[in-house]
RNA sequence: GCCGCGGUAGCUCAGGGGUAGAGCACCCCCUUGGUAAGGGGGAGGUCGGUGGUUCAAUUCCACUCCGCGGCACCA
């Protein structure tokens, strides 16, 4: 049989011709010894393959090394396999399940009677390093499906057997063998465990449901991180430390903004400084909404249970609600949403088409009984304040209103430095009220409105509110984390249920469209996001204490009081520090609680009528006449608009 | 809600079957010091709660509450 020539096209466009089939390894070697050593895998006509796979026909081939994103993913994937191998060596009875790559690393879920604890991690890690040192060859094997199922069953690996059983018919069952360890895997993998290197670390253990379903048994998951080299690993660990430093729970305590306590799990006790920040956000939002043509209302926190039956909340949201009763035997519920109360305000008096659109805002505090395990500082609480609003309009006005809301949200986020905002469109969930026809109609209308904004969005099937489809606004903070904040929901159901209407031009009753929207979402959570986004260093307009006037010696006390009065007079939130302490001590203390500006005054400033301005985090001192300094700050501290 | 870990002074944490300790913060005294900790002294805790084992429990056990990391759920 005459050998077939093989023509390989490389990424730079060059072409290599071989007399017979070769492997990726041989191809890499033909290019250079360095590449041969670095080669982890390859793509053949775009498809990722093991580096030792044969190249039997003409193809475009690109050698993957650790430098490639795909190469890094391979390292992480292999790291998961090496971890599973280590675990099986140490505790042979442990069952292995799945071990995918995730952002920054990987995890592997194991099934065993005794869950792992973090004390097991060093031992596993040590064994992993041994396996890397052994440099075991990793090879792909394709097995007959039934044989594979039997094999894993015989090994006591019920989960693996189940995974294979569930593979679609016709899909190849591939296994990867390294040393004595063999695992079901689609691949590809590194050619040997030695290629993994040592830049990995096991991070934490956690419980996780089999197949992510809370009805299934809980497995024990080990998370690890894995990088190209020690330097990258170090940088990642350092980044984690930095993120920890800006944890809003820690900063909230240090800056004396709020606290939590047992008597009301998941509810915030706001301290004066935290509440100042909270109120500033509301003040800002009021202004923006006022400019955008909104009016504001306030509705009761506790409403008759029957109302929540009418709205559908008891049925569809009931297990997330707080209920209460009074000595007279009446049943109430704490509002988990503001909409029903808002609808009752709309329903007061006749509305004309001339009144629409009506944009009605409410800073309503809602209570939701969240699962205990979900609570997390300000980010996930059981009582929170929404910057809620309901827009009542006609179907024709609806698109325009959606565009306006979208523009408002994006513009407001910019004032906080959130420029990177993603939009998500969610349609009907399983648990919902209303007919499919109504859902068809609202989904179509909302989607058209979304498309009319001209912005990109991602589709999130089945994630809508129980009364209507929605658009969510997800912002990215200073350290790259995503937060879902704003929401815009289309609702044809509640108007129906509460039978609200307006009188149209034709003199007849018509059903209005109701849009639910929130921009910050939860004020509590938004404060948490801001604290972490700014690492506690809030912009001047939001800082609870904007300026501290600190004296150097008591000779400056009288003048410091003057400066303090001038600042207060100008509306600046200023505090006076005339304690008998050294200036170093005062500077340190106020810096730690992140006061943005300090006025330092001593004899010199008192004599000259100036202040020495020190900005948080800066060593610089700016000397300005008091009046000028106050004027500049007033300008700088203005609420954005 | 589920799995694992934890709860000791205001904060960060050590300790451990014989009723507790450090640093910082707090209070008092000395110090009047030019931009991130001046010095000395003092006060402060029924060791999350309830039961149990024990001569004796903060320590061991059970239950419970709360928190932390995930999972599930979600603004």
pLDDT in tens, A133-167: 999 999 999 999 999 999 999 999 999 999 999 98
Selecting among A79, A185, A339, A402, the annotated active-site residue is: A339
Which of residues 493-522 of A have CB within 7 Å of strand B?
A: 521-522
3-state helix, strand and coil shares in percent for chain A, rounded to the nearest 5? 40, 30, 35
Token pair for A537:
């260093």
Instruction: Give the tens place of pLDDT for each residue, A389-400.
Output: 999 999 999 999
Q: How far is the CA of A543 from the C1' of B9 (A)?
A: 31
What values do phi and psi take at A540, rounded to 5? -50, -40
* Nucleic strand B under 7 Å from the C-beta of A598: yes
Nucleotides of B under 7 A from a protein CB: 1-5, 11-12, 30-38, 65-75
Selecting among A221, A313, A516, A533, the annotated active-site residue is: A516
Q: How far is the CA of A585 from the C1' of B29 (A)?
A: 19
**Which residues make beta-bridge pairs with A523?**
none
Could you confirm whether A81 is annotated as catalytic?
no
User: Smallest Cα–Cα separation from A86: which of A196, A161, A188, A191?
Assistant: A196
Region A357-362 average pLDDT: 97
Q: Which helix (H) or strand (E) holds A85?
A: helix A69-90
User: Smallest Cα–Cα separation from A424: which of A394, A389, A462, A390?
Assistant: A462
Distance CA A100, CA A80 (A): 7
Helix pair A158-166, A145-154: axis angle to 10 deg = 160
Distance CA A587, CA A599 (A): 10
Sign of CA dihedral A617, A619, A620, A626: positive
Helix pair A272-291, A395-414: axis angle to 10 deg = 140
Token pair for A170:
């016709």
Which of residues 576-595 of A have CB within 7 Å of strand B?
A: 580-585, 587-588, 591-592
Region A356-381 average pLDDT: 96
Instruction: Give the tens place of pLDDT for each residue, A492-525.
Output: 999 999 999 999 999 999 999 999 999 999 999 9
pLDDT at A242: 87
| Whether pLDDT at A168 is above 60 | yes
Residue A347 per-residue DSSP state: T
Q: What is the ipTM of this complex?
A: 0.94
Is A363 in contact with A523 (CB distance < 8 Å)?
Answer: yes
* Nucleic strand B under 7 Å from the C-beta of A218: yes
| Whether pLDDT at A428 is above 50 | yes
Distance CA A79, CA A227 (A): 10
Is A469 in contact with A429 (CB distance < 8 Å)?
Answer: no
Could you confirm whether A368 is annotated as catalytic?
yes
Selecting among A178, A386, A489, A546, the annotated active-site residue is: A386
Instruction: Assign residue A69 a region (left: φ > 0; alpha: ψ between -120 and 50; beta: otherwise).
Output: alpha
Q: How far is the CA of A556 from the C1' of B28 (A)?
A: 24
> What residues contact residue A24 under an 8 Å CB cut-off, 6+ apart?
A39, A41, A42, A49, A50, A51, A52, A53, A55, A61, A63
Selecting among A201, A351, A470, A517, the annotated active-site residue is: A470
Helix pair A395-414, A436-452: axis angle to 10 deg = 50
What values do phi and psi take at A359, rounded to 5? -110, 105
Cα angle at A560 between A557 and A566, to 5 degrees? 145
Instruction: Assign residue A594 a region (left: φ > 0; alpha: ψ between -120 and 50; beta: otherwise).
Output: left
Confidence bin at A3 (pLDDT 50/70/90): low
pLDDT at A2: 47
User: Smallest Cα–Cα separation from A30: which of A1, A57, A61, A76?
Assistant: A61
pLDDT at A1: 44
Instruction: Give the tens place of pLDDT for each residue, A618-634.
Output: 999 999 999 999 999 99
Is A402 in contact with A515 (CB distance < 8 Å)?
Answer: yes
* Peptide bond before residue A188 is cis, with ω within 30 degrees of 0: yes
By the 10 Å C-beta count (0-12 exposed, 13-18 middle, 19+ buried), A329 is classed as exposed
Confidence bin at A477 (pLDDT 50/70/90): confident
Q: Report the 10 Å Cβ neighbour count for A349.
A: 7
């Amino acid at each position: 049989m005459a050998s077939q020539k093989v023509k390989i096209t490389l990424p730079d466009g060059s072409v290599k011709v071989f007399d017979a089939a070769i492997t990726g390894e041989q191809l890499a070697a033909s290019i250079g010894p360095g590449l041969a050593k670095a080669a982890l895998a390859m793509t053949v006509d775009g498809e990722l393959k093991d580096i030792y796979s044969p190249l039997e026909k003409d193809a475009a081939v690109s050698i993957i090394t650790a430098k490639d994103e795909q190469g890094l993913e391979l390292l992480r994937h292999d790291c998961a396999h090496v971890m599973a191998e280590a675990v099986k060596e140490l505790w042979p009875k442990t069952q292995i399940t799945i071990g995918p790559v995730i952002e920054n690393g990987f995890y592997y879920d194991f099934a065993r009677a005794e869950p792992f604890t973090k004390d097991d991690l060093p031992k596993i890690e040590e064994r992993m390093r041994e396996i890397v040192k052994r440099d075991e060859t990793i090879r792909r094997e394709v097995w007959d499906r039934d044989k594979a199922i039997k094999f894993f069953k015989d090994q006591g690996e019920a989960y693996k057997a189940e995974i294979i059983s569930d593979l679609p018919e016709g899909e190849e069952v591939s296994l990867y063998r390294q040393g004595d360890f063999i695992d079901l895997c689609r691949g590809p993998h590194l050619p040997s465990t030695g290629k993994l290197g040592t830049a990995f670390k096991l991070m934490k253990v956690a419980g996780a449901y089999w197949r992510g379903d809370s009805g299934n048994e809980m497995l024990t998951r080990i998370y690890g991180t894995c990088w190209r080299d020690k330097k990258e690993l170090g940088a990642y660990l350092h980044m984690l430390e930095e993120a920890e430093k800006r944890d809003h729970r820690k900063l909230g305590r240090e800056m004396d903004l709020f606290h939590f306590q047992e008597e009301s799990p998941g509810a915030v006790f706001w301290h004066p400084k935290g509440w100042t920040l909270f109120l500033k956000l509301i003040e800002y939002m009021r202004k923006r909404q006022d400019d955008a043509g909104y009016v504001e209302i306030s509705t009761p926190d506790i409403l008759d249970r029957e109302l929540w039956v009418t709205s559908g909340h008891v049925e569809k949201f009931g297990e997330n609600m707080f209920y209460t009763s009074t000595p007279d035997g009446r049943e109430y519920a704490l509002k988990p949403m503001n909409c029903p109360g808002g609808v009752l305000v709309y329903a007061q008096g006749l509305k004309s088409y001339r009144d629409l659109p009506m944009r009605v805002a409410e800073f309503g505090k809602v209570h939701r009984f969240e699962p205990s395990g979900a609570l997390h500082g300000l980010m996930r609480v059981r009582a929170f304040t929404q910057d809620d609003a309901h827009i009542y309009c006609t179907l024709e006005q609806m698109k325009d209103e959606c565009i306006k809301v979208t523009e408002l949200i994006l513009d407001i986020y910019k004032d906080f430095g959130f420029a990177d905002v993603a939009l998500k469109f969610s349609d009907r969930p399983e648990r919902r009220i209303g007919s499919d026809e109504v859902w068809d109609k609202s989904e179509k209308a909302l989607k058209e409105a979304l498309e009319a904004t001209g912005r990109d969005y991602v589709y999130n099937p089945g994630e809508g509110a129980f009364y209507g489809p929605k658009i969510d606004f997800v912002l990215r903070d200073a350290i790259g984390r995503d937060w879902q904040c704003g929401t815009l929901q289309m609702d044809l159901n509640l108007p129906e249920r509460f039978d609200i209407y307006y009188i149209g031009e034709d003199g007849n009753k018509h059903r209005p469209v109701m849009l639910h929207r929130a921009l910050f979402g939860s004020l509590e959570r938004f404060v948490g996001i801001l604290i972490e986004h700014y690492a506690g260093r809030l912009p001047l307009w939001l800082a609870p204490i904007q300026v501290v006037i600190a004296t150097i010696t008591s000779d400056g006390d009288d003048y410091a009081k003057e400066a303090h009065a001038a600042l207060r007079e100008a509306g600046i939130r200023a505090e006076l520090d005339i304690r008998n302490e050294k200036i170093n001590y005062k500077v340190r203390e106020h810096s730690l609680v992140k006061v943005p500006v300090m006025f330092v005054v001593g004899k010199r400033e008192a004599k000259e009528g100036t202040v020495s301005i020190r900005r948080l985090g800066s060593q610089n001192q700016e000397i300005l006449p008091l009046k000028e300094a106050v004027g500049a700050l007033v300008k700088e501290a203005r609420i954005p608009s």
